[in-house]
Amino acid sequence: MPYLFTSESVSEGHPDKVADQISDAILDEYLRQDPTAKVACETLVTTDFALVAGEIKSTAHVDAEPIVRETIRRIGYNKAEYLFNADTCEVMNRLHEQSPDINQGVERAKDEDQGAGDQGMMFGYASHETANYMPLALDLSHRLLQELAAIRRENRDMTYLRPDAKSQVTIRYSDDHRPEAIDTIVISTQHDEFDPSESAMLEKIKADVLSVLIPRVQAGLSADVQALFTDQITYHINPTGKFVIGGPHGDSGLTGRKIIVDTYGGKGAHGGGAFSGKDSSKVDRSAAYAARHIAKNLVAAGVADQVLVQVAYAIGVAQPVGVFVTTYGTTKAKNEAGAALTDGEIAEKVNKLFDLRPYAIVQRFGLQNPIFAQTAAYGHMGRQPGTVQATMKDGSVKTFETFTWEKLDYVPQIKAEFGL
């Protein structure tokens, strides 16, 4: 019988995402000055206060405070009534030098022998149910909040919006795992004080969500996904009622607390390591990107309808200790005898096609470039590759590719290897 699956997202103004964005902005500044910088930056935000702490090994000289303030300002916390204000909040810096015990496990005489920055397992997932090979519930959850943020910045239709928000989408699937309809949408958005009663305020917000936000989101979707928006959807708009107090004043935020929002919304798996604030020598981040790249290219090449890839490492060791692939029984690729390839056979071919040493991953995706601030809200996966410009230490302006792990550049090699 049909079943339901739910994913959530949070906005750039959610306190945990504020922390993620600060950590990645600081990382980018180190990489702008020193591409080989080793950075592990954690952030805590609460009422009119931000703390950055962590370990750094770099030749760069970074003043964290203006980066913290500019990030908070860009997100939209720029008014005294938010009780978290870019211009007035206290900023504390507790970044310090990285432990040499950790560093000796990473750096080698030859760059290509660079060891993994830590042990652990990382996962990548892809599905054919959306154009960007992401789970539909998460993709829609992200889109709702990205569009809500755009409406807030335009300041025309929903002028009462504040930066903090959350979304949740529940999809009804058929027995053969195909999306049939959107069952439930939850939107909770921070807002200004209203003059009318609370009930009138809630009615106004719900009416605007249905008449402004939802049509704008629908307009950017393919026809088959638009068809899932029916009049049978259950909407919960600010279901707890008034939501004036929010952001870091309403709830403290920490780097790395939204790892499921950052990845696949509960589909597939997650190794447990967070991404933001970490340079690419930390395989928590770089190998998770590599695993997503593999899974996405496998699905796009037609190997299977959905793929989960696991890569595992030992600290200080370059080669992964294991590569695992599962296609959930959706394999389309066949061997010479005409039988479907086993997941083990697919994993063996993946090992042949992809160099999963940390140094190779960093070089393949350009992960020593200052490209990470854009990843810190609305997901690290499923995003559109693009470019960003940065002024380098010598004054030159360089252009860097972003979301390089989302490229479908290995599809021809995979088709050739799998005979597709």
Please provide the DSSP assignment of 288-334 as one string: HHHHHHHHHHHHHHTSBSEEEEEEEE-BT-SS-SEEEEE-TT-B--B
The annotation status of 166 as a binding-site residue, yes or no, is yes
The annotation status of 242 as a binding-site residue, yes or no, is yes
Task: Reduce the DSSP state of residue 9 to 3 states and report it.
Answer: strand
The annotation status of 278 as a binding-site residue, yes or no, is yes
β-strands 397-402, 386-391 pairing: antiparallel
pLDDT of residue 339: 86
pLDDT in tens, 164-206: 999 999 999 999 889 999 999 999 999 999 887 888 899 999 9
Average the pLDDT over 211-232 and give the result.
95
pLDDT-derived band of residue 300, with 50, 70 and 90 as boundaries?
very high
The annotation status of 415 as a binding-site residue, yes or no, is no
pLDDT of residue 106: 60
Domains of the chain are: 3-9+136-247 (3.30.300.10), 15-106 (3.30.300.10), 120-127+261-418 (3.30.300.10)
pLDDT of residue 284: 95
The annotation status of 319 as a binding-site residue, yes or no, is no
The annotation status of 98 as a binding-site residue, yes or no, is yes
pLDDT-derived band of residue 346, with 50, 70 and 90 as boundaries?
very high
The answer to whether the beta carbons of residues 143 and 217 sit under 8 Å apart is yes
The annotation status of 257 as a binding-site residue, yes or no, is yes
The answer to whether the beta carbons of residues 405 and 369 sit under 8 Å apart is no
Residue 261 is encoded by which pair of tokens?
């929002």
Average the pLDDT over 45-65 and give the result.
96
pLDDT of residue 103: 55
The annotation status of 14 as a binding-site residue, yes or no, is yes
The annotation status of 249 as a binding-site residue, yes or no, is no
The number of helices, as runs of H, and strands, as runs of E, in the chain is 13, 13
Instruction: Name the average pLDDT for the chain.
Output: 93
β-strands 179-191, 234-237 pairing: parallel
Q: Which residue has the higher pLDDT, 395 or 103?
A: 395
Average the pLDDT over 87-103 and give the result.
82
The annotation status of 180 as a binding-site residue, yes or no, is no
297: left (phi over 0), alpha (psi -120 to 50) or beta: alpha
pLDDT in tens, 128-168: 999 999 999 999 999 999 999 999 999 999 999 999 999 99
pLDDT-derived band of residue 392, with 50, 70 and 90 as boundaries?
confident
d(CA 69, CA 49): 11
Report the C-alpha dihedral over residues 245, 251, 257, 262, rounded to 10 degrees: 0
The annotation status of 243 as a binding-site residue, yes or no, is yes
Average the pLDDT over 69-94 and give the result.
96
d(CA 254, CA 248): 10
Burial bucket for residue 166 (CB in 10 Å: 0-12, 13-18, 19+): buried
The annotation status of 258 as a binding-site residue, yes or no, is yes
What number of CA atoms fall less than 13 Å from residue 121's CA on the CB side? 12
Q: State the DSSP H helix or E strand holding residue 146, giving kind and residue range, or none if neither.
A: helix 136-154
The answer to whether the beta carbons of residues 258 and 22 sit under 8 Å apart is no
d(CA 185, CA 69): 33
The annotation status of 42 as a binding-site residue, yes or no, is yes
Residue 301 is encoded by which pair of tokens?
């090449």
pLDDT-derived band of residue 374, with 50, 70 and 90 as boundaries?
very high
d(CA 193, CA 242): 9
pLDDT-derived band of residue 361, with 50, 70 and 90 as boundaries?
very high
The annotation status of 193 as a binding-site residue, yes or no, is no
